[in-house]
């Protein structure tokens, strides 16, 4: 393996000069910089991350753990985080937990073991103890899409109870009374809070009923499976209003309803959640509850940078408002 000393000998400069080229390029004369760059390329030298960590006590890397990086909502959150940390000269590494607390623990533990500068986490459950322990050990952690009831971690989240209330109120205002919430696991805090909002509305609406269908994943196929079950039921046994766990879930659900001969919204009204770009492109454009994904990611990254730069930075909490976006599906 080629070392920094090999490069220095090849160029005829000190190892300290090569180190400055790598870490403090403004200290190296342009002509010397050109010679070192050519030697690095010729010799195939790859700088050591561990050496950089020892010297600067920084890796230059930020980790992001989300439930599903392929979900457009989380993809937008990750992109926003990446834009902010890139301006600070940091690189991003992202992983998905797929609603698994064990996978989240493996992922975040790896980030800490590799001495990443900090981590943004969209938790797979409401258990914050392991994340708090990491912060107390000096590894900055910012939580997105959930709140920390004990107020120990910085968080950026949405008023999810209000999001559930907005969706349910829109459905009952449209005359729907047999409501179905097709959503994720009850371990996830935002799922429970959305359900609270829906129950607030159902409890205040005479004749309204509620059924809840939990799933471990909320993709197109899982949504389509819910749609097929609804389409197979007798018309009187079907829900007439559905709140899906996210827009991807809702798009699969709507497609299966239409394929099964169920009209949307005439027979079944459907409300999604997130307002992803694809929400307007389905067979029936989705009514949905908008989460400001870019604002969430930007705020989380800015807080994380403050915690990376200042170990004693105060805890911050950002709580954003949801917005109902009305389209044709409801």
Q: Where are the domains of the chain?
A: 4-47, 59-158+293-321, 160-290
The pLDDT score that the predictor gives to residue 1 is 82
CATH superfamily of this structure's domain 59-158+293-321: Response regulator (3.40.50.2300)
- Report mean pLDDT in 10-residue bins for the chain, 330 residues: 88 90 85 93 78 60 92 93 94 91 93 93 86 93 91 94 97 97 83 94 97 86 95 95 95 97 97 93 94 96 95 92 96
Q: Which residues does residue 325 pair with via DSSP β-bridges, in sequence order? A: 288
The pLDDT score that the predictor gives to residue 37 is 92
Give backbone dihedrals phi and psi of 42, rounded to 5 degrees, phi first: -65, -45
| Tens-place pLDDT, residues 207-261 | 999 999 988 778 899 999 999 999 999 999 999 999 999 999 999 999 999 999 9
Q: Please give the share of the chain, as a percent, with pLDDT higher than 90.
A: 71
Domain 59-158+293-321 in the same topology as domain 4-47: no
Let me know the angle formed at the C-alpha of 261 by 255 and 266, rounded to the nearest 5 degrees. Answer: 85
Which pTM was predicted?
0.79
CB atoms within 10 A of CB 125: 16
The pLDDT score that the predictor gives to residue 260 is 97
Fold annotation for 160-290: Rossmann fold (3.40.50)
The pLDDT score that the predictor gives to residue 201 is 98
| Token representation of residue 64 | 């992001």
Cα dihedral 131, 133, 135, 136, rounded to 10, equals 170
The pLDDT score that the predictor gives to residue 105 is 93
Fold annotation for 4-47: 434 Repressor (Amino-terminal Domain) (1.10.260)
């Amino acid at each position: 393996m080629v070392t920094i000393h090999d490069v220095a000998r090849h160029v005829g400069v000190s190892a300290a000069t090569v180190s400055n080229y790598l870490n403090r390029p403004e200290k190296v004369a342009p002509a010397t910089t050109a010679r070192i760059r050519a030697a690095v390329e010729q010799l195939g030298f790859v700088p050591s991350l561990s050496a950089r960590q020892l010297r600067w006590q920084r890796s230059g890397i930020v980790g992001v753990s989300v439930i599903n990086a392929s979900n457009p909502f989380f993809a937008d959150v990750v992109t926003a985080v990446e834009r902010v940390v890139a301006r600070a000269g940091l690189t991003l590494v992202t992983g998905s937990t797929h609603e698994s607390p064990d996978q989240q623990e493996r992922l975040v533990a790896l980030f800490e073991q590799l001495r990443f500068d900090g981590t943004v986490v969209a938790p797979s459950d409401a258990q914050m103890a392991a994340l708090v322990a990491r912060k107390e050990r000096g590894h900055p952690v910012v939580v997105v899409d959930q709140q920390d009831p004990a107020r120990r971690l910085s968080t950026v989240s949405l008023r999810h109870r209000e999001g559930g209330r907005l969706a349910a109120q829109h459905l009952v205002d449209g005359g729907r009374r047999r409501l179905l919430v097709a959503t994720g696991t009850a371990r996830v805090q935002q799922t429970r809070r959305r359900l609270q909002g829906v129950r607030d509305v159902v409890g205040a609406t005479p004749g309204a009923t509620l059924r809840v269908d939990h799933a471990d994943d909320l993709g197109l196929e899982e949504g389509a499976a819910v749609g097929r079950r609804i389409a197979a039921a007798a018309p009187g046994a079907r829900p007439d209003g559905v709140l899906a766990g996210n827009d991807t879930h809702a798009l699969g659900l709507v497609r299966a309803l239409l394929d099964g001969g169920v009209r949307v919204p005439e027979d079944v009204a459907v409300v999604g959640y997130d307002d992803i770009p694809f929400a307007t492109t389905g067979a029936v454009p989705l009514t949905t509850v908008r989460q400001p994904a870019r604002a969430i990611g930007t705020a989380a990254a800015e807080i994380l940078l403050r915690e990376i730069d200042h170990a004693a930075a105060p805890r911050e909490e950002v709580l954003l408002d949801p917005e109902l976006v009305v389209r044709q599906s409801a």
